[in-house]
Chain A
Amino acid sequence: MAIDLEAKIPNNVDLANDPKLRRALEHWQPKYLEWWMETGPSDFKSDQIYLRTAVGVGKGGWANFGHVKMPDYRWGIFLAEPEPDRKIHFGDPLGKPAWNVVPGELRNRLRRLIVTQGDTEPASVEQQRLLGHTAPSLIDLRNLFQVNVEEGRHLWAMVYLLHKYFGADGRDEAEDLLRRRSGDPDNPRILQAFNKPIDEWLSFFCFTSFTDRDGKYQLAALAESGFDPLARSTQFMLTEEAHHMSVGENGIGRVVQRTAELMQEGTDPRKVGAIPLDVIQKYVNDWSSSSFDLFGGEDSSNAAEAFACGIKGRYREGDGIYKDPQALAQIYTTEIEEGGKLTTVEIPLRRAMNALLLDAYHSDGLRIVDRWNRVLARYGVDQKITLPNKRFNRQMGIHAGKTYDPQGNPMSRDQWESRKASWFPTDEDRAYVRSCMIKVHERGKFANWIAPPATGINEQPVDFEYVMFH
């Protein structure tokens, strides 16, 4: 499909030849911009930010870089290129042609999935709106805004699907996506993790490392969908999402590096406004474990039905790595606390789809923690960052209401309560981290709690003028 970059809404979905849809989206566009001005990044609206803008999906480059004022960002609708004669490759409709319209019986289920995914996109922008004021460098400020504008584009991707395939219901849902507000007690965002403010950068890096990573896995599962427009939308979103992951992963890595540098030279990080490793560990515990819950219950009939009917696959389902694309006869085993001990439980594989996705996510988490530990080792620091066990601090699923230590060992509620302050950030920890957040907006300079990145953006130097202030 040709890419129309000159249109009011840049797109590769042939909006020019669908006047009804184009009018509906052009009607939604000013409301989106109003939402952005009201709840997007506070201030910085007239500053020029060095941003990546998606301009295509195929060979020959997919994005442009340049200085842009955020309200002038070209939010567009891009779907990955279609795969000719694509077949559904899992679940009960295995081998049938992928759908290009919504099957009537799946309408509500698909709409709910798209709305839930779509709701997280503006929510994260709202959560992070004040962060720019304490950015530790220009490149970090730019990275924050890059994440923000692309989450906005992901909202566009989901709103396109709602408008195009779900009629009046979809249009109403698209309006509601702009009405809900992160943290608003009367009209909150759908998922709880998207209702807590992110008011300092350690949390932002944890959010992009762990919470956004859940989004990546959900998108990857939806990219397998038998509903082809959803699969193609989410495939392209994943390309952008990769940068968000690296902002978090490299961000924590740079915080760890700065702390390790100080430890190596014998300086107490607390004395110079840097972040001690035990505090970083507490933030990792908090953000990773709350992100585990975003996967839903390990034993889930909803997840089983979404798989069975072909709308949400397993991670990398399309790679052909699973023995049985229908997941009918296998059993997933896991361990749960019963009477103070771990006991094996069996879940029919279809009902364990959330658990499988969480497993893939957790393995990925182990990979990034290992990467941070290699930084520590490089500076001769023996201490390590660890990723909590999947059972730790769960409010949802089979472990909800049970108490485990970060290694996943069962313990009594009393023991858990008595050790909680050593696992999670205390008010004092949070106050200390906030006190480190001093704005640095000079080219090539960095706050003392974070090391510079190894490279700049788009082959620009690290001290490039990533933000030109008005």
Chain B
Amino acid sequence: MRDDKRLVYVCEGGDCSEKGSIELHAELDGMLKERDTACKNRLRKYPCFGGCEHGINLVLFPDRVFYSNVKAEDLPEIVNHLVGEGPEVKRLEGKVAPDVEQITWDLLDTGF
């Protein structure tokens, strides 16, 4: 059922997984289990967002935040934001083309 949780998608497409997105997802999962005590976020994998040349990509929805070139060392800052203890990590945003971002929001929206 639709709820007010934020969806946190880690891309597991070919390029992103080559760059370690599966491991990054696992690390983020561990950090959120520890820090997200209010369960505000739902962590998921996503097959591909198409921003492959800028992977690893991580997307927040419905916030419409598109992080690129995410590395393990960025996770503490990202988690701070996810648990409401820090701002968006602006330096990771705006790297993919606007149409790639738009396609992503179209893919994530459902009319049902």
Contacts and interface: CB of A to CB of B under 8 A. Distances in A.
A364 B107 contact: yes
Contact of B13 (A246, A316, A319, A320): A246
16 contacts: A239-B12, A239-B22, A242-B47, A243-B14, A245-B48, A246-B48, A321-B110, A322-B2, A356-B112, A363-B103, A363-B107, A367-B50, A368-B50, A370-B100, A455-B15, A457-B18
A157 B100 CA distance: 34
Contacts of A457: 18
Nearest to A241: B47
In this complex, the interface size class of chain A, counting residues with CB under 8 Å from chain B, is 35 or more
Interface in A49-95: 58-62, 89
Q: Which interface residue of A247, A319, A349 has the most chain B CB atoms within 10 A? A: A319
A74 to B, nearest CB: 19
A321 B18 contact: no
B53 interface: yes
Interface string A348-367: 01000000100010011011
B94 to A, nearest CB: 17
Nearest to A217: B47
Interface in B70-96: none
A164 B59 CA distance: 38
Nearest to A318: B44
Given A59-B27, A319-B44, A349-B112, 20 more contacts: A59-B23, A62-B22, A89-B1, A216-B47, A220-B47, A238-B47, A245-B13, A246-B14, A246-B48, A250-B15, A320-B1, A321-B2, A321-B108, A324-B1, A324-B112, A330-B112, A332-B112, A367-B49, A367-B50, A458-B18
Given A363-B106, A364-B107, A367-B103, A242 B13 contact: yes
In this complex, the interface size class of chain B, counting residues with CB under 8 Å from chain A, is 35 or more
A367 B52 CA distance: 12
Interface of A: 58-62, 89, 216, 220, 238-239, 242-243, 245-247, 249-250, 314, 316, 318-325, 327, 330, 332, 349, 356, 360, 363-364, 366-368, 370-371, 374, 454-455, 457-459
A296 B88 CA distance: 42
Closest 7 interchain pairs by CB? A246-B14, A59-B26, A367-B50, A367-B103, A243-B14, A325-B1, A242-B12
A374 B7 CA distance: 28
Given A321-B110, A330-B112, A370 B14 contact: no
Q: Which interface residue of A220, A314, A316, A360 has the most chain B CB atoms within 10 A? A: A316
Nearest to A90: B1
Contacts of B12: 238-239, 242
A250 B14 contact: yes
Contact of A322 (B14, B17, B53, B112): B112
A92 to B, nearest CB: 15
Contacts of A216: 47
A429 to B, nearest CB: 28
Contacts of B38: none
A250 B47 CA distance: 14
